[in-house]
Chain A
Amino acid sequence: MPALIQHPGYSESELRRVEEKLVCRESQVSMLLSIFGEYCVFLSVLVLLCGHAATSLVCISLSLSLSLQLPHALLNCVECFTSRLLFEHILNQLCAHSPSPDNEFSSHTRCDSFNDFIRLYRQLADLQQQKSTTYIVLDRAEALRDMDANLLSGFLRLQELVGGNVTVIFLSEIVWEKFRPNTGCFEPLIICFPDYSKAELQQILSLDHHPEYSADLRHLLSELYSSAGYNVSLDSSAVCNVSVPPWCVSAKESDTHRLWRNIEPHLKKAMQTVYLREISSSQWEEMQQKEGELHLKGLSAHAHVELPYYSKFLLIAAYLASFNPARADKRFFLKHHGKIKKTNFLKKHEKTSNHLLGPKPFPLDRLLAIFYSIVDSRVAPTANIFSQISSLVVLQLLALVGHDDQLNSPKYKCAVSFDFIRAIAR
């Protein structure tokens, strides 16, 4: 098989290594390589790679730069929540510095602003006397938008500012239009990574399998897995999770139908549990080993919440207040309400279900009024009752709307579902 990735600037063997690692991404990789050019080519563009979560962006850029031995710094913008962290991480990586007790966990140099960063970068470049292009890879670049305003546009013009051979690569799950800054930016070169197709997914899966299997069986299994998993998730790691452990497939079987019948229940169960993180993967493995004897309950099975008696009533009152209109209160909670023209009232109501509109905010007084009317016995308005309301807010069963001022009649919303309330009310 001739090498799919070819580039004059890099040696054949290095390229071969890259190719082995990055299956099904040949076209994108060769595109990138052609942009990168040879080691010392002065690169003027800035690249934005975008694609979904599981399109192996990080993997590709990392293995490219590692196996081709390009000078690079790869960092996750979520991790660097201040610009100082971001700058110092880049500098640390470029001069191979890591925090340790010897340097008192400090970074290479202190760098507080973009100005400093450029100055320090220039110093560093002068010191290292590198000719090849340096790559700064910023993963989850969308996080840059929430940081200092000058960061994004600064990085976009980094080459210009530094005056050296440096290229910034952004990796992001969202398209460029969503984070284009207003002024003064270079348009980056955008390379979109498409999702893996079914066939490609199959190929990837067949690479990652139990060593006991023959190649044919591996292929067959991966076909089954991918067809089962493709509709649910495009994340190849998720499909891996779902895959059936080897002990339930006898390696001799070659008949597709029988194989399918064997593993179908396992797949189904796995889709319902592991994929949704209802049970952990290690528990899943244990369960498989015991041949499914013990039935583990998933996380959602433990939905019931035990609440103190009055907390229950408060929550029910809050639910009623959230989903009933205030003008109906008199009708629902008063024993001797005036007669209401029933037909008129109901007709107006049935137009839109209140459940579709979501919970409405209500004042504390209304909550207490309904609470007193649904509790049978007389309840004194003790401190405990009020503290229960605030603890319901802490438990996120109620939500405080608007201001946090207790004096100025606070408003709440009920944050639980009908099913939850029904379970509580039982």
Chain B
Amino acid sequence: MTTSSVSKGCFVFKPSSKKKKTTSLKASDYFHDGKADSQNSESRFETFQSLWQRMKAETERVQEDLNTNILDSLLEFARKSTASFQSKTDDWASRMRASEIPTAALVLGVNVPDHAMTFQSLSALLQESVTPYVVCLQSKECSALKQVLQKVLVQLMGHSVSVEDDDDEEDQPGPRPTGIPSRKMLCSMATLCGWYTAVTQKSASPSPGKKRLSSSKGCGQRPPVVVIFKDLESFTPRVLQEFIVISSQYIQQLPLIFIFGIATSPITIHGMLPHSVSSLLCIQLFQSLSCTQHLATVIDKLVLTTTFPFKLSGKVLQVLISIFLYHDFSVRNFIKGLQLSLLDHFYSQPLSMLCCDKQEARSRAKELSHEDCENIRQLPSFMRYVEKQEPEIQIQLLTSDQRVKDVTQSLLKELHAYHKNYYPVLRCLHALTSSLPKYPLGKQIRELHGICLEKNVWETEEYESAFQLLRMLAKDELVAVLRTCTEILKCAKKLGDAVEKLEEFIERFELLDRCSAVVETGQEGEEELPPQKGLQKKTDLFQLQKSLLERESRRTKKLSKFELLRLAVLDCIDSIVKKHLLPPESQPLHEVFYYSSAGTLRRHLNAAPRTAIQTALNNPYCYLQSEALKSEGGAISNAAPDICIVYKLHLECGRLINLYDWLEAYATVVAAAEGKDPDSAAAAQLDDVKHARFIRAVSELEFLGFIKPTKQKTDHVARLTWGGC
């Protein structure tokens, strides 16, 4: 693909599992770091594959669900327009609209590559339920009107052939149109029109195969022809205008429906089409879900769930989310990033074979090999766990493999339990804080999740301020929020006691409601008095302030029942949070489930070609790993490749570089590399080979965009990068 997206970039990605299968080496053979035994790597690879298949299926399901709304309304639109084509009623309004082409403007968000899937499912759905004639056009294939028509003709008429081959091959083995338009055929709308009438007449005539077809399509004998313009912005306006003008002339014989895929905003239609053309269209707007909502759902279903044992650490999640928010808005890339981290986790972490479902993990833990036990002992979290134990248990853990296996099983079980409680409590805390002003703990649940992954959430300032705000919540809101919390917590079996507690609080709040009417009237009567007193004395400002402060302090001393209850309930929630929202780093064996090398992920997903080139030129050792190239400081190593030497030399020059001086400097450096005395006359002499090497290095630099030829001065080149003297 050329430059057609926000998400385009240097995408370093390991070959997908499909490709691996075709190679002669088994895919799992790539899956070891050299030291691990093959059995382990095989099981890891299998776990990875099955887990990824499950995650993929889940994402597809989620995305389908998200798209149903808009796709349904689009299908409805197509059906409605079809109906209006077919109703031959001569009523006034439809006559007025007769010459307009029904058009759906589909706003999909700025990430163009992500649209591919939506369009795919859209055209599949259209073909299934509205019309067999669907054409997808992409701007890069349609630079001229002729190509547009050609594309439309090929897609439609080619399609008709395939349908007939399936349906009535036995019925009528006669001459039929070839799939590829013959050279004699004209690429014009008239041809298409002729084809359409022929096809519809044929399907109207009773033939058993066709009858089934048309009845399943459910749109009668004249199904519309749907033309999808995938990326409207990139079409040449002129081509688009002409195509619309031509189509509108044939609209009576050829029922067309357009679908415009728009990335920015519907105003582009006005920008591209003059009024004389846009008046030929009957445009209806459809807006898809915003991509941030889309992402939130995907995270909710893939990350914030116990369904999948694989987890992302806070840093990794942050890398993925920041790439999404800062760079491309592409959900597809987010999922790819997730896939990459999954792959890298199973590849680099030998213990990741335990990263599977509970039962499976337990049985695998029973059969751990000696090396695996050693690996477990080396895990930092396990070491911390060991240090906390009694001395004799410590010794057992460090010597007996069986003991390690047992402990591992119980620890894994604890981790699973931890996850089961973590997510409901997280959602509960999010429900509490998401409605607070200024969102101290984040508006989206992923932000809260990020905080909780990093550290003890109750130690943060934000948590502190959130609870201060919660302590000021009115009763109605508080009770409503508590209700949602209990609903959320009910999903987790092990949080029964917390649910009970909260329900008890809600009941007490309600009791308070009933008797509050009596209490309030009494309280008001008491409190009426002091302000009157204060007003009677005409006091100065200082006195007023004093009295106000006094009243304030009196109020804080005397808490109402409601306030007491509010404090109690918040303390209860606080204790729940403190119990269950521990960061995963505190859990032993968390390395098994959590993927944490954010640096690798960033390097792979957010490549920095400029930095890479500069590193390569400055420090070739970094990539070539040759001992001879190790240099200290900024000195130029003599043995470095020519281009590095030339690059280093050019850094010392100003904006214009004298080629001859450069060549001489280069010759000196190279002579030193050959072991000659740099000061001797022979070394300074140029030979043809050196000259050629120099010229090649310079042209390589030019190719990389560091210099360019200039006409300002003879025998000079201009430097294109900053930092010259």
Interface residues of chain A, those whose CB is within 8 Å of chain B, are: 53, 76, 78-82, 84-85, 88-89, 92, 98-101, 104-107, 110, 209-211, 235, 237-238, 240-241, 245-246, 276-277, 279-283, 285, 297, 299-300, 302-311, 380-385, 387-388, 390-391, 393-397, 406-409
Identify the closest chain B residue to A299 (Cβ). B266
Tell which of A110, A277, A303, A306 touches B291, judged by Cβ atoms closer than 8 Å: A306
Please determine whether A98 and B190 come into contact, CB atoms closer than 8 angstroms. yes
For B525-553 the 0/1 string (1 means CB < 8 A from A) is 00000000000000000000000000000
Query: Cα distance A418–B263 when bound, in Å?
Result: 20
B643 at the interface (CB under 8 A from A): no
- A–B Cβ pairs within 8 angstroms, 5 of them: A106-B185, A305-B265, A306-B110, A390-B3, A407-B708
Tell me whether chain A's interface is mostly helix, strand or loop, or mixed. Answer: loop
Contacts of B109 in A (CB 8 A): 306
Binds A, one of B23-31, B485-493, B607-615, B672-680: B607-615
Please determine whether A76 and B185 come into contact, CB atoms closer than 8 angstroms. no
Please determine whether A384 and B107 come into contact, CB atoms closer than 8 angstroms. no
Contacts of B5 in A (CB 8 A): 387, 391, 394
Please determine whether B93 and A285 come into contact, CB atoms closer than 8 angstroms. yes
Known: A99-B185, A106-B185, A384-B328. A304 touches B279 (CB 8 A): no
**Measured between C-beta atoms, what is the minimum distance from B126 to chain A in Å?**
19
Please determine whether A100 and B249 come into contact, CB atoms closer than 8 angstroms. no
Please determine whether A387 and B8 come into contact, CB atoms closer than 8 angstroms. yes
Tell which of B92, B234, B325, B326 touches A394, judged by Cβ atoms closer than 8 Å: B234
Query: Cα distance A76–B3 when bound, in Å?
Result: 36
Contacts of A210 in B (CB 8 A): 92
Please determine whether A302 and B110 come into contact, CB atoms closer than 8 angstroms. no
Contacts of B10 in A (CB 8 A): 383
**Measured between C-beta atoms, what is the minimum distance from A384 to chain B in Å?**
4
**Measured between C-beta atoms, what is the minimum distance from B299 to chain A in Å?**
17
Please determine whether A282 and B284 come into contact, CB atoms closer than 8 angstroms. yes
Please determine whether A280 and B185 come into contact, CB atoms closer than 8 angstroms. no
Contacts of B97 in A (CB 8 A): 281-282
**Measured between C-beta atoms, what is the minimum distance from A243 to chain B in Å?**
8
Question: Which parts of B311-337 form the interface with A (CB within 8 Å)?
Answer: 323-329
Please determine whether A396 and B268 come into contact, CB atoms closer than 8 angstroms. yes
Instruction: Name 4 extra pairs, CB < 8 A, besides A98-B190, A387-B6.
Output: A280-B281, A300-B266, A381-B608, A394-B3
Query: Cα distance A283–B268 when bound, in Å?
Result: 20
**Measured between C-beta atoms, what is the minimum distance from B385 to chain A in Å?**
38
**Measured between C-beta atoms, what is the minimum distance from B479 to chain A in Å?**
35
Known: A282-B284, A304-B265, A382-B608. A104 touches B177 (CB 8 A): yes
Query: Cα distance A159–B105 when bound, in Å?
Result: 48
Please determine whether B3 and A393 come into contact, CB atoms closer than 8 angstroms. yes
Please determine whether A88 and B326 come into contact, CB atoms closer than 8 angstroms. no
Known: A76-B249, A101-B176, A409-B720. A395 touches B233 (CB 8 A): yes
Question: Which parts of B80-117 form the interface with A (CB within 8 Å)?
Answer: 80, 84, 92-93, 96-97, 100, 102-103, 105, 107, 109-110, 112
**Measured between C-beta atoms, what is the minimum distance from B646 to chain A in Å?**
18
Please determine whether A78 and B190 come into contact, CB atoms closer than 8 angstroms. no
Please determine whether B325 and A387 come into contact, CB atoms closer than 8 angstroms. no
Find the residue from A310, A384, A385 having the highest chain B CB count within 10 A.
A384
Contacts of A98 in B (CB 8 A): 190, 194
Known: A299-B270, A380-B611, A383-B607. A391 touches B3 (CB 8 A): yes
Contacts of A283 in B (CB 8 A): 284
Find the residue from B283, B606, B720 having the highest chain A CB count within 10 A.
B283
